[in-house]
Amino acid sequence: MKNPWLQLSKDSPFILPCDAKLINIFNNRWCDTPFEIILDEIPSPYIGNPESPVFFLNLNPAYSLEESNSPLINQYRKIARNNLLHEFKDYPFYVLNPLLVGTPSGYCWFKEKFNPLIKAINISKQEISKKIFLAEYFPYRSKKYKWGNDILPSQKYTISLIEKAIVRNAIIVIMRGRKLWFSLMPALKKYPNCYILHSPQNVTISEKNLGVDGFKIVVESLRK
């Protein structure tokens, strides 16, 4: 499947032509509410190398006006756009790059959530960034999540990346949106390498939250 994110506009509003109709209908209903889809910042449908051995499935990217006004915003947007095109340099999972602190990368959030895993493997953030991939159920940003079950055309590409991961028996960890992911991809329900965090409110990737067996399998996969 051709990557639709090749068509993302270079300037705000950051929206794919194929998604525009459904997004506009939604925003007309939820305008000026925390659920409104924010199009002033680059969407984040996925992060990292899709050939990674471990996939994490999340719900949707957050939005912060303060972060979008960061002095490093142009640097962030360049890296984020390259990620959409699967073009990587030092940090494929770029949200763990400390040089992007204070930008919409969400560095502090991701560092906190993945820190137990990084410690367990005992490798640098840069090294683990080459081995993990994260997909968002919904690619566009909002202060609070409200999107229903309507599937955006762009979501089909993310689905295709996960399907390829399943074919090669990658480990998949559902962080948030379990019911949504199962509805979007029923094959995940019976996929033996799929694990679910115990708490969708606190999505820290830890032994307690993932379970002893699941955490051990993830750690072993990332040590290879």
**Residue-wise pLDDT tens digits, 190-215:** 999 999 999 999 999 999 999 999 99
Q: For residue 19, give its domain range.
A: 4-223
Kindly report the backbone phi and psi dihedral angles of residue 90, in degrees, each rounded to the nearest multiple of 5, phi listed first: -75, -35
Report, as an integer, the average pLDDT of 180-199.
Answer: 96
Is the confidence at residue 21, as pLDDT, over 80? yes
Give the CATH number for residue 18: 3.40.470
Q: What's the one-letter identity of residue 122?
A: N
Q: Which of 44, 46, 59 is nearest to 104 (CA)?
A: 44
* Per-residue burial over 111-134, b = 16 or more CB atoms within 10 Å of its CB, e = otherwise: eebbebbbebbebebeebbbbbbb
Total domain count, the chain = 1
Q: How many CB atoms lie within 10 A of CB 179?
A: 9
Confidence at residue 133, expressed as pLDDT on a 0 to 100 scale: 98
CA-atom Rg of the chain in angstroms: 17
Cα gap 27→45, rounded to integer Å: 19
